[in-house]
Amino acid sequence: MGCVGAPQVGVDRQMPNMDGVALARAIKRDPAIADVRLIMLSSLGGRADDEEIGQAEIVVCLTKPIKQASLRDCLARVLARTGSGPVQSPGGLVSAPAPALVSNGVRVLIAEDNIVNQKVALLQLRRLGYSADAVANGAEAVEALSRIPYDIVLMDCQMPEVDGFEATSLIRGRSAPVRHVPIIAMTASALAGDREKCLAAGMSDYISKPIKVPELHAALQRWSPAHVRASGGAPQMAAGTIAPAPSS
């Protein structure tokens, strides 16, 4: 049985007796069904680690609840793939496995509705050594932060449902430590008033699109937990960035 046209199977991450990873490994050990392409379904914060996913030959991990459009897009991508390796899918939480040497263990959340920009950002962060997840809008970012202790958020300003400004305001209204997480705005342009809008929303910094790796790396370094502690909670920001929101 060849890879093209192989059937797809969705496995839940958390099941009694045998969980999704164990089931995936069992499937891949059976020559009669080893060509099946496996899609894992997991709850936010309950996904297997990237090494487990790779060893079990799971091609994509989707976070529940799964939207119909996201599932349809995922199935189309899995059907179209011809090579090995993971497939990234929009919607829910999409993760980028980081190299063995993670940049000081810093975990980054990307809020970006454009799937291409999302993939680029995940790839850039992976190459810089960061562990990163991505969500498709501000509402999903707020939800993710309530469950997972991210160190930094990269926040697109223009998103459907809940944009970056509203999401930041919601985050700043939460209790500590969520309200104090550094939020770096990603802006498509440097229009007059953008700086003031970011500041009013409580954002900590901003970088312009298209994202350049040196600028991204510099911003992440400024707001890494180690640097924030070393600077007494007020990092030295590059020219053009905005002041952090007061932590009341």
Predicted local distance difference test score (pLDDT) of residue 126:
85
Q: 27-65 burial, b if ≥16 CB within 10 A, otherwise e? A: bbeeeeeeebbbbbbbebeebbeeebbeebbbbbbbbee
The CATH number of the domain covering residues in 8-80: 3.40.50.2300
Q: Position 114: which residue type? A: N
The position carrying tokens 């059976």 is: 30
pLDDT at 182: 95
Q: How much is the pLDDT for 32?
A: 80
Would you state the structure tokens that stand for residue 239, as one six-digit string? Answer: 């020219």
Contact 138, 166 (CB under 8 A): yes
Low-confidence ranges of the chain (pLDDT < 50): 1-5, 82-91, 97-102, 236-241, 243-248
- 81 Cβ neighbours under 8 A, 6+ residues apart: 37, 59, 87
Q: What is the pLDDT of residues 77-86, one digit of tens each?
A: 666 654 444 4
CATH 3.40.50.2300 matches 94-230: yes
Amino acid, single-letter form, for residue 66: I
The count of other CB atoms within 10 Å of the CB of residue 200 is 14
Q: Where are the alpha helices (DSSP H) in the chain?
A: 20-29, 50-55, 68-80, 115-128, 138-147, 164-172, 194-201, 213-222, 225-230
Report yes or no: 151 and 224 within 8 Å, Cβ to Cβ.
yes
pLDDT at 123: 86
Q: How far apart are CA 126 and CA 121, in angstroms?
A: 8
**pLDDT at residue 92, as a whole number:** 56
> What six digits make up the tokens of 52?
């487990």
What are the domain boundaries of the chain?
A: 8-80, 94-230
Q: Are 106 and 136 in contact (CB under 8 A)?
A: no
Q: What is the pLDDT of residue 16?
A: 72
On the question of a common fold for 8-80 and 94-230, the answer reads yes
Residue 222 in contact with residue 236, Cβ under 8 Å? Answer: yes
User: Which string of b and e fits 2-25 if b means at least 16 CB within 10 Å?
Assistant: eeeebeeeebebeeeeebbbebbb
The packing angle between helices 164-172 and 138-147, to 10°, is 30
Place of tokens 């680029």: 120
Rounded CA separation 172/178 (Å)? 8
